[in-house]
Amino acid sequence: MTANQTYLKTTPMLDYFNKDIQQLITQHGWRDLSQYDAIGAVYNFVRDDIAFGYNRDDTLTASQVLKDGYGQCNTKGTLLMALLRALNIQTRFHGFTIFNELQRGAIPAYMFSFSPKKIIHSWVEIYFEGRWLDLEGYIIDSQYLSVIQAQFPDQCESFSGFAIATACLKKPDNEWQGNSTYIQKEGIADDFGLYDQPDDFYKEKGSNLTGIKKPLFRYLLRYLMNANVKRIRRMKVTA
Measured in degrees and rounded to the nearest 5, phi and psi for residue 134 equal -90, 135
How far lies 32's CA from each of 86, 183, 222, in Å? 13, 29, 38
pLDDT of residue 221: 84
pLDDT of residue 225: 93
Is 225 in contact with 39 (CB distance < 8 Å)?
no
Domain boundaries, the chain: 5-233
Phi, psi of 226 (to 5 degrees): -65, -35
Quick check: 13 and 62 in contact, CB under 8 A? yes
What pLDDT, on a 0 to 100 scale, did the predictor assign at position 235?
Answer: 77
Quote the CA–CA distance of 154 and 84 in Å, as a whole number: 35
Residue 208 · residue 120 · CB < 8 Å:
yes
Q: How far apart are CA 21 and CA 174, in angstroms?
A: 24
For the chain, list residues with pLDDT below 50: none
Cβ contacts of residue 223 below 8 Å, gap of 6+?
none
The predicted pLDDT at position 110 comes to 83
Is residue 74 within 8 Å of 122, Cβ to Cβ? yes
| pLDDT of 210 | 65
- CB-CB contact of 54 with 72 (8 Å): yes
What are the residues whose beta carbons fall under 8 Å from the beta carbon of 145, sequence distance 6 or more?
A: 164, 172, 174, 183
What DSSP state is assigned to residue 14? -
Which residues, 6+ apart, have CB-to-CB distance to 186 below 8 Å? 102, 158, 159, 160, 165, 166, 167
Question: What pLDDT is recorded for position 237?
Answer: 63
pLDDT digit string, tens, across residues 137-148: 999 999 999 999
Helices of type H across the chain: 19-28, 35-44, 62-68, 73-86, 142-151, 198-205, 213-216, 222-233
* pTM reported for the whole predicted model: 0.94
What pLDDT shows up at residue 184?
Answer: 98
Could you say which architecture CATH assigns to the domain 5-233?
A: Roll (3.10)
